[in-house]
Amino acid sequence: MTREENNGQGALNRRQFLRRVGQGAAVAAAGTILGDAASAQAGAAPPAGDETRVVHSVCLACNAVCGVRGEVRGGRLQRVSGNPYHPYNMAFAPIDQDTPAADSLAVPSPVCGKCHDTVNHTQSPYRLVRPLKRCGPRGSGQFEPIEWDRLVAEIAEGGRHFAHIGEERQVPGIKELLSDDPIDPAAPELGSRRNGLVFVTGRLQTGRQQFIDRFVKGAVGSANRIGHTDICGLGFRMGNFALTHGKEIELKADPLSAAYILVFGANVYEALQPGINTYGALMARRQAEGSLRFAVIDPRATRAAVHADAWLPVRPGRDGALALGLARTLLDENLCNLRYLSAPSAKEARQRGFGSCTNAPCLVIVDPRHPENGRMLRLKDIDPSKGGQAGETLMVLDAAGRVVAAEATGEAVLEGKAVATDYFGNAWQVETAFTMLRAGIEAHSVETYAAEAGVDAAELRRVARDFAAAGTRGAVTQYHGAGNYICGVHAAYAVALLSALVGSPDMRGGYLKGGGGAGDCETGLYNLKEFPGQRKPGGAAISREKFAYEKTSEYKKKKAAGANPYPARLPWFPFSAGGLSNEALIGLDAGYPYKAQVLFTYLYNGVYSAPGGSRFKETLLDPGRTPLHVSLDTAINETNIYADYIVPDLCYPEGHHGWLTPHAPALRFTAVRTPMMEPLTGRTADGRPFGTETLLIDLALRLNLPGFGDAAIPGADGASHPLRTAEDFYLRAFANLAHNTKAKPATDADVAFVEGNYPIADHQGLLSNDQWWAVCRILARGGVFRPYEDMFEGERFTRGIERYMVYNETLARTKDSMTGRRLPGTPVWMPPQTGDGADLADTDRDYPLTLVTYKRHLHTQSRSLWYSRAIAIVPDNAVEMHPDDAAGLGLAQGDRVRLASASNPDGVSGRLHLTRMVRPGCVAVSFHFGHTQFGGTALAVKDAASVFLGGTAVADGDRLVPRQAYRAGINPNDVARLDPTLGNTPLTDAVAGIPDFSSTRVRVTKETV
């Protein structure tokens, strides 16, 4: 086969790619991206008036925090378009913030297809509007409505609440957890009994996050409010976490000014943060103008590949090898930015014209005799009289080879070894971080890295040269695919490192974090962070995140007995950004490191959304492992079907108040989410809507917890204010934002606009007139937004990070809790292996193909079934396979096939689609499908018509009438690899707790009728 034909072991450049798919297909693909995804229905809004209410808010169809403009008539959401004040809707160029709100309605502003379907999602007939209590065995789908006050009492107090269906056990309530006694008397470091409350959250953004934390952490005192960053994309974030020494988890290439972007595992035209109508649209426009080039590194040719200079079809889980091959090329061909890397301090870097420095020239203690071996050498190590911040100064070798403080010299040796003598005359071996970095990269040749990655070495070198040629305007954008797998930390670290090697961090067009919020929402006029009686959580989270195994009694007891303290019973993750929802359920399953009593799941569907999540069915079925399960959600889903209580929650057009700050890169703003319509859920006797805030407030009042009720919110004027409604909290947060950003008072016209359109205006009496007028200025615009140009001084990004780490001392001094081995402190090639060192390519050799998954541009996360427009356009998914693989297996286009794995040998059944856009040896399956709930299955729900929004349209007496189309397609997570060494729980990276999305090997066989 010729190189041009390409068998997936090399790479296609843009010319070859277009030849492969045909010019017509390329044009069609580009039209899809720029049409239905980026600018569909970007029309102006009608004038607000008696018939139409228009509200500026923030979308929650995905996590990208784009602005929206909702139009409501007759209490129903009619249409959603973009907010022209918001830079994400206007390609970083929004309208002037002084534009009157009424005038802004004439300005078209785009949103993506997912956002447009918000109307159908919010008003789905299968939405829950009343709380439910199960009236049959867990998982049976038998539920009955429960009155609000009784719901609150049962969850708070506990009791024999299921005796009426033959369950005599005592169900715990939150009340019995309100004790400072240790949760395990033999292991007091694990915290108090309060940690028996575990609150796992799905899609959660600032605002509601602070409200939930107020209850879980501040009022109850539990350490277990655990997010879902792990399944959302912890892998790539860990690369940035390592590069920034834990200061940031999101950095990306600047799409407005970059000259060359390496796109690793990021589906930029279909699913990204910032959203596709922002980031992807900017990339497409600038590529068409000739001002941007980029390469796509992905096992499948994403839509962006049609515009890319090259598609490098990397083997799944081998992004780190490819990145290190690029890094090796930069080193071998002297393409690294040595002037940037050798700058000893941020001050010197700025004088050289850079936005930041690295620790590349800084010295590392590499002497086993030293008690801090592996740590960066600091001034306090040489002179113990230097304390405080001065003592933390990093050390370098100056041009004369002397060990000096980094800030004390303008020139430092980048590569070298030395002996550092301390105050007491002790001589210690040290070497520069760059020396260690080079050694790790040069452990393998470019050819070896390319072979491991499954790409052509010559093409890899070409891409490296093109990237380096962009200088400080070359950067990386990585996402889910680049590191969400076992050994993903070092892979994503290698990817992030590439930007540092060319000097682009904190430079216009380079590698940038977000600019942060425009102002603080939690303090100012009102203190929403602190309150009388507030508790400080302690101990270890049940997910074992951000806690070292070596601090546990388990470890100490083994060591005291003379035994090898490794392995721990389950992995611990001290070097992790956290949000380990998978590990929370694994801990719940094992009762380790302690047994939890009460589980809340909030908009969380781990059984469906996590790879191997179906394993948690047995965890949630068992009252011994999950004594009480309360779900807050808009639907009955694949996870809360096992809950004891399901509390209906609001969709974002009805609530989810929040203050949202930008994703990377560059921009600075605080966007405000506020309701666009009145809630469709039921209400309490005093008129508050059923939902998260109402439940937590009422539980707190029932249990007499601090931080809620009267005198709960301290004011700057010395007064105290109540917290009895959601608006008591959120409207005061908006007042803080207005105060801290020195917002101008709104004009009479803008105040009238807000008061005539925004539901939150009904609560304006909570604020003084001056405060309300300032808040109206913000509400009318959907937030406070700063211009892109304000983030730079010349070429330098002003809100960046002072020093980036090519060697991470914390990572280097962390031990794998299962092996006891220290981890490498620089990016190195670590082949994906299970915790016991097994290579799945060997253990699963009978399953010859590797499974990858992805998201489509029209579909959302696990709630996509209610997006009826998206379902009409793309009603199911398929098993996508390269024609060469299909030919070898005797398969043809459209065949019904069975996808099976070692962990699910029975597999799942789907339709085969042949495409050369997937590398040979892989199969790709899009997410979103293969559901059983959300209205896809008949359920026995008493008085069902009163429970679901659609009433008799979806209910027949005590039965929910299903829509069979909701069960279309397959869920690739159902065949994901489990780890037999850890109780057949989902396969997870042992360093940071990253769930594995890229290592499952599968067999595809034709089904016979």
pLDDT in tens, 189-214: 999 999 999 999 999 999 999 999 99
Q: How confident is the model at residue 941 (pLDDT cuts 50, 70, 90)?
A: very high
Q: Using N-to-C axis directions, what is the helix angle for 229-243 and 581-590, rounded to 10°?
A: 120
pLDDT tens by residue, 463-515:
999 999 999 999 999 999 999 999 999 999 999 999 999 999 999 999 999 99
In angstroms, how far is CA 856 from the centroid of its own chain?
17
Cα-based torsion angle of the residue sequence 316, 319, 325, 331 in order, rounded to the nearest 10 degrees: 180
pLDDT at position 719, please?
96
- Backbone dihedral angles phi then psi of residue 173, each to the nearest 5 degrees: -115, 170
Measured between alpha carbons, how far apart are the two ends of the chain, in Å? 36
Of 10-24, 507-521, 836-850, which gets the smallest average pLDDT? 10-24
Is residue 292 within 8 A of residue 462, CB to CB? The reply is: no
What does the pLDDT read at residue 858? Answer: 86
The per-residue pLDDT for 863 is 74
pLDDT in tens, 612-661: 999 999 999 999 999 999 999 999 999 999 999 999 999 999 999 999 99
At residue 31, the pLDDT reads: 33
Percent share of the chain, pLDDT over 70: 95
Residue 12: its H or E element: strand 12-13
* Residues shown for the chain: 1009
Which residues are 68's β-sheet partners? 57
Residue 133 has pLDDT above 90, yes or no: yes
pLDDT, one tens digit per residue, over 654-706 is: 999 999 999 999 999 999 999 999 999 999 999 999 999 999 999 999 999 99
Q: What 8-state DSSP symbol labels residue 439?
A: H
Encode pLDDT of 219-233 as tens digits: 999 999 999 999 999
Quote the tokens at residue 1.
């086969």
User: Is the model's pLDDT at 39 over the cut of 60?
Assistant: no
CATH assignment of 132-232+521-648? 3.40.50.740
Across the chain, how many H-helices and E-strands are there?
Answer: 31, 42
What are the residue ranges spanned by the domains of the chain? 132-232+521-648, 832-930+968-1006
Q: E strand or H helix at 923, and its extent?
A: strand 922-926
Q: What secondary structure letter does DSSP report for 316?
A: T
Express each pLDDT in 771-780 by its tens digit. 999 999 999 9
Reported as a single tens digit per residue, the pLDDT across 42-85 is: 567 766 666 899 999 999 999 999 999 999 999 999 999 999 99
Measured CA to CA, the distance from residue 30 to residue 14 in angstroms comes to 14
State the pLDDT at residue 15.
39
Burial of 411 (0-12, 13-18, 19+ CB in 10 A): middle
For residue 26, pLDDT beyond 50: no
**CA–CA gap between residue 193 and residue 220 (Å, rounded):** 10
Domain 832-930+968-1006 has CATH 3.90.1170.50: no
The 3-state DSSP class for residue 724 equals coil
pLDDT for position 537? 97
Rg, Å, the chain Cα set: 28
pLDDT for the residue numbered 41: 45
pLDDT digit string, tens, across residues 244-265: 999 999 999 999 999 999 999 9
Mean pLDDT along residues 823-827 = 97
Residue 447 pLDDT > 90, yes or no?
yes
What local confidence, expressed as pLDDT, does residue 42 receive?
56
* pLDDT (0 to 100) of residue 48: 64
Please give the model's pTM, rounded to 2 decimal places: 0.94
- pLDDT (0 to 100) of residue 49: 62
d(CA 972, CA 15): 33
Mean pLDDT, all residues of the chain: 93
